Chains A and B, each alone.
Chain A
Amino acid sequence: MTWMMWRQHRTEALALTIFVGVIAVALFVLGRPMHALFPLGSAHCLVPPLDQACRSALVRLQQDYGYTTTVLILLNFAPYAIGGFLGAPLLARELEAGTWQLVWTQAVPRRRWLAVKIVVLGTVSVLLAAGLSAVIAWYRRPLDLLGGGLDITAFDLTGITPMAYTLFAFALGVVAGAVLRRSLPAAAGALVSFLAVRVTVAGWIRPHFVMPVTRIEAFVPGSGDITDGTSNARDMILDQGFVDADGRRITGLGAVIMEGKAREGGGDPTIYLHDHGIQHWVVYQPMERYWTFQLIETVIFVGLAVLLLALVFRRIRRPAF
């Protein structure tokens, strides 16, 4: 059985290893000079006060490597590429080539066959995702200084979530293959559902995993300019605005008008705001919750994957393909 798995899937496994390998090498080559900007390690420049070396390194980082944060967003497709590529043909290829009739009449019960396939290929895809996640985590460590802790440029690419996404994509591929019975439509169907679930969770559900923190801060007159967000650039800001002396929140257009008034005359806006008793408020998820969020997100996606694979097991027990 194990030999059979290897013989049947070695092409995909090797192709994916090369895919992950190429990305890893590219990140390593690009990342070396970026890491070299911070001889003392980038964490050294994370907490103020920043020394001169840090400040100039930060400027260089922003200028030379700021764009890569955006490019990294593309790697959100990697879990799908890995999991879908191995998962979609798992059943679909047997069904479209008719070989299901060959393999399911050998002396290996169907469910054992499916279990071995899922365990072996699922493990391969999760391992590849783990490797990729580790490389990305190393690469983007200096980029943490530019922010983006809990969003798709960092949270979704590092830690344990990429593995959960990959397993989910794999399960989606297997299910789509069982339903659509052809590899390419199965891969396409899996992509659409993968993106839909990922966007929904990342965009609407993740910000509410845990009750967000609300902070209200008075403006320090003469501090120069209105400070946005929180002191940590990696916190996930959900909403922010002003609160007036009576405790009423001013958001949206009201906040824009308020800011315009404060800037009238070209002086320091914090003096105006302070004099009118206006404070800054922000609702956010602090970066310290990174691992809590990673755990919650992993549980969600692994749970969905298990559910989907359980459906396939139920389906394959009833021999009606």
Chain B
Amino acid sequence: MNATLKEKQGMKSTKEEFLELLSNYQGILHKVCLVYFKNESDRKDNFQEIVYQLWRSFPKLQDKGSIGSWMYAVAINTSISMLRKNSRVDFRETIPEFSDQSTVFDKIVTDERLRLLLNAIHQLDEVDKSIMLLYLEEKRYEEIAKIIGLTKSNVGVRINRAKKQLQQHLKNH
């Protein structure tokens, strides 16, 4: 068997492994997209970009035990990067919330309080959005601190502050 054939087979198995992983954990990507983008088409673009960035960094993933953290980190960083790259997003932020109520969105967000919660999350800044997503996903403070690159106490302060904002928003509506 020559080297090229071996390389191709190795690459194929890596891709298979990556797709298997992605298939199992894709919910993370959908949730990150949901938190960062109001528009279905932006969410689709971002989802594809995240998949690509995950694929690029997959060979460097050494700790297979922290797949979730790796996915959140790449998804959050890519989303923030996409927010600036895509000027359409800035424009669409002025359009009433969830103007494109898609079938998929309606299927996921069936509860009115969840809809309100998502609207409230969209009003947080980019960092607090990601911290609250991780909090809502019941990640431990240590893990959130690791993904965002903050101290544990800083994470705690931010979560408490953002929680108050979200609770206030829900009370007011």
Q: Do A and B come from one complex?
A: no
Instruction: Give A contacts to B, CB under 8 Å.
Output: none
Question: Which residue numbers of B lie inside 8 Å of A, CB to CB?
Answer: none
